[in-house]
Structure 1
Amino acid sequence: MAQPAPQSALSSLQTQCDASAQSTKVGVLLANLGTPDATDYWSVRRYLSEFLSDQRVVDYPRWLWQPLLQLVILSRRPFASGEAYRSIWNEERDESPLLTITRQQCDKLSALLKAEHGERVEVDFCMRYGNPSTDSAVRRLQEKGCQRILFFPLYPQYAAPTTASACDQLFRSLMKQKWQTAVRTVPAYYAHPGYVEALAASVAVHWQSDETPSLLVASYHGVPKRYTEAGDPYETQCHATTQLLQHALGWEDGSIVTTFQSKFGPEEWVGPATIDQVAVLARQGHKHIAVVSPAFSADCVETLEEIQQQIQEAFLEAGGERFTYIACLNDRDDHMAALADIARNELSGWL
């Protein structure tokens, strides 16, 4: 019969394991929605096909939805979407602004965390749809020696079509591994003080000028109403962010209007719709309004094209005179400090 190992040997082995764990690299993986690789028809079609085939985004039965999507919607929509992307495209880098900004966020967060933890931490980013893919980013971190990964969806408010879908894709990547990387996922941070304070600071700048807007519109990406009825907390968290922003600014009730944008399909979505509400505000006598997008961590086609072009046009056509768009938090220092603080908290015990 084999003799049990001496206590000293077990203690030594445990010490070695603990030392190995402490020297293991930790990865932080930022995740955003995605972007086509280019603005031509086929690039946009591939992107939209992947996006709109996600049953977290459109949960109709596949036998009903896929023929409609592939044969009808994707025969026309890539032309309009391609035009929208071309109007905001980063020509210098030949990529979408979302890709440019997310890379900048990754670089700044990496600098902040490496200043504290050196080479023990690696920061990378991925897109749920398009490139760089979640799978490729996970592999890159593993190749750098990361046996633990903090997955950070850049959505302040949780929603099944965004946060949950991004996590789904991460877990699909792990399903391919024989030795799975240990992972943690960052929860919704809609109420994080640093995030709210950064939002308030971005808004306050526009209320310190000589031509102050009469009202602030907080425009969030919309979801079908039945998602809320089924228990998705997104709508509630959006309203909570608005209330926290109002409190941080020290404003009175009614000074911020919460709206939702980007409606797709025939069913009822949460509302009011931003594009309709800004027209109502113009007809009510609001000649100068400002719009902020608290649900977007980085400017993208929904903010740079939909808000700054379509929604602004609706406001001006209804009699409005001046429309101010307040940029997303992007790679602002206060925003990056907030993301770093969230990461530190979630990395507790790993670093």
Structure 2
Amino acid sequence: MFDATRPTHAPADHPKVKMGRVGILLANLGTPDDYTYWPMRRYLNEFLSDKRVIDYPAWKWQPILQAIILTKRPFTSGAAYKSIWDHEKGESPLMLITKDQTAKIRSAMKARFGDRVMVDFCMRYGNPSTKSKVREMVAEGCDRILFFPLYPQYAGATTATANDQFFRALMEETWQPASRTVPAYFDRPEYIDALAASIERAYAGVDTRPDILVCSYHGMPERYLQQGDPYHCQCVKTTRLLKERLGWDDSQIVSTFQSRFGPEEWLKPYTVDHVAELARQGKKNIAVVAPAFSADCIETLEEINEEIRESFEEAGGETFTYIPCLNDDDAHISALAQVIEDNLKGWLD
């Protein structure tokens, strides 16, 4: 462990401080502390008040959010969370998976760099907060922090807002650590290989080979694309690289977008509508994977595996195979560890 020491050449009465470590702070979207009304309301309020997520003027949006949405949505979202909640451990799948990912990455980094690194995770919304984890890392002697949003594709509503919160936390530190943020890794060969391997395993384990693989990405308003957000382009490229790695043609794979919110047009095709259309076209056996999510969560376990599955089956679909996110799969952890090592160059070699 790194003990507090007096800085070199400091006077005898200088307080001892910890220094010399590198923090690796993983970040994901977040999760409510519980699926009951008030924890859900607190979480949704923080999430839906983020200007990166909903960019309407506050004078217009906040009355709608506070008076209408947050009186009803905590109940419906809470019911969805309850359906996937780990009641024995008292936490959501995203929290449990992120803890497992962190533990494995911590082990890999310790084997590579020893006690020179400190690995932890935070959530953009909810707990553990980004601010609290930055504070802990500084207190433990991290004078450099690598901040890693666990989103393969960059989006303003995910990667950027996570970075924003990290920078806000740094603003409160008297002695700020040097900092780096990890860029999107959607086209990293290690990530594509891990994703392809998970699909090959899933296809090998089903009795009927799917007619098509639906790559369902989280959606965003089309307007954000026009404003310069690269998310759509990076999603489409992920699908293309995956197709090439699998050796497939265009008829075997498609990109779609899920999780619409509000009245405006979002990126298309919409997953929930497209799977129904595939069923009506005679593609009765499909598989769905969610390459934009590093860990299974409400959008995959409830929305894809329940709502989107139901849309497909009601339209005449027969076999619906949901392929889990990479989660703490060893190939995924190895890919993330490689991304981290590449971004530590110059700090730790």
Distance 1:48 1:261 in 2: 18
TM-score scaled to structure 2, two decimals? 0.94
How far apart are 1:207 and its partner, in Å? 2.3
Deviations 1:270-314 (A, max 9, x none): 010000000000001111100000000000000000000000000
CA RMSD of aligned residues (A): 1.1
How far the C-alpha of 1:248 sits from its partner, in A, is 0.7
Percent of pairs identical after alignment? 62
The one of 14, 28, 35 aligned to 2:31: 35
What is the CA-CA distance between 1:263 and the residue it aligns to? 0.3
How many Å separate the matches in 2 of 1:323 and 1:221?
19
Alignment of 1:277-296 (within 5 A): 277-296=274-293
Deviations 1:72-105 (A, max 9, x none): 1111011000000000001121011000000110
- Farther-moved stretch of structure 1 (205-214 vs 329-338): 205-214
1:183 corresponds to which letter in structure 2? S
How big is each residue's C-alpha offset from its partner over 1:191-234, in whole Å with a ceiling of 9 and x where there is no partner? 00100000000001122243211110000000000000000000
Q: Secondary structure at the match of 2:260?
A: coil
SS in 2 for 1:254: helix
Aligned: 1:311 with 2:308: yes
* Structure-to-structure mapping, 1:147-296, within 5 angstroms: 147-208=143-204, 209-296=206-293
2:54 corresponds, among 44, 54, 58, to 58
Tell which deviates more after alignment, 177-186 or 44-53. Answer: 177-186
Alignment-mate amino acid for residue 270 of structure 1: L
The residue that corresponds to 2:42 in the other structure is 46
Deviates most, 199-208 or 290-299: 199-208
Question: 1:17 maps to which residue?
Answer: none
Residue identity opposite 1:27 in structure 2: G
* 8 Å Cα contact 1:97-1:299 kept in structure 2: yes
Letter in 1 for 2:130: T
The one of 62, 68, 77 aligned to 2:64: 68
Secondary structure (helix, strand or coil) at the match of 1:200 reads helix
How far 1:268 moved relative to its partner?
0.5
Aligned length: 331
- Residue 5 of structure 2 is matched in structure 1 by none
Distance (Å, rounded) in 2 between the aligned partners of 1:55 and 1:132: 21
Q: CA deviation at 1:143?
A: 1.8
CA–CA distance in 2 between the matches of 1:309 and 1:319? Answer: 16
Q: Which amino acid in 2 is paired with 1:57? A: V
Q: Distance in 2 between matches of 1:178 and 1:27?
A: 17
Which digits, 9 at most, give the CA deviation of each residue in 1:16-65, with x for residues without a partner?
xxxxxxx7110100000000000101110000000000000000000000
Deviating beyond 2 angstroms after TM superposition, the runs of 4 or more aligned structure 1 residues are 206-210
The within-5 A match list for 1:6-155 is 24-155=20-151
> Given residue 189 of structure 1, which amino acid in structure 2 is its aligned partner?
Y
Aligned-partner Cα distance in 2 for 1:222–1:145: 39
Aligned counterparts of 1:37 and 1:116: Cα–Cα separation in 2? 34
Residues 126-178 of structure 1 show CA distances to partners (whole Å, capped at 9, x for unaligned) of 00000000001111111221111000000000000000000000011111122
Return the offset for 1:190.
0.3
Structure 1: give runs of 5+ residues left out of the alignment.
Answer: 1-11, 14-22
After alignment, is 286-295 or 134-143 more displaced? 134-143
Q: Does 1:322 align with 2:324?
A: no
Task: State how far apart, in whole Å, the 1-side matches of 2:49 and 2:251 are.
Answer: 39
CA contact (8 A) 1:35 1:131 kept: yes
Q: TM-score when scaled to structure 1? A: 0.93
Aligned equivalents of 1:350, 1:206: Cα separation in 2: 39
Match in the other structure for 1:20: none
Partners of 1:36 and 1:111 lie apart in 2 by 27
Could you give the per-residue CA deviations for residues 108-139 of structure 1, whole angstroms, max 9, x where no partner exists? 00000100110001100000000000001111
Matched residue of 2:262: which SS?
coil
Per the alignment, in what secondary structure is the counterpart of residue 170 of structure 2?
helix
Does the 8 Å contact 1:206/1:212 carry over to 2? Answer: no
**Amino acid of the residue matched to residue 68 of structure 1?**
I
What letter matches 1:253 in structure 2? D
Name the CA distance, whole Å, in 1 between partners of 2:249 and 2:257: 21
3-state DSSP class of the match of 2:336?
Answer: helix
Taking the aligned partners of 1:211 and 1:341, their CA distance within structure 2 comes to 35
1:148 and 1:311 map into 2 onto residues whose CA distance is 43
Q: Distance in 1 between matches of 2:318 and 2:42?
A: 39
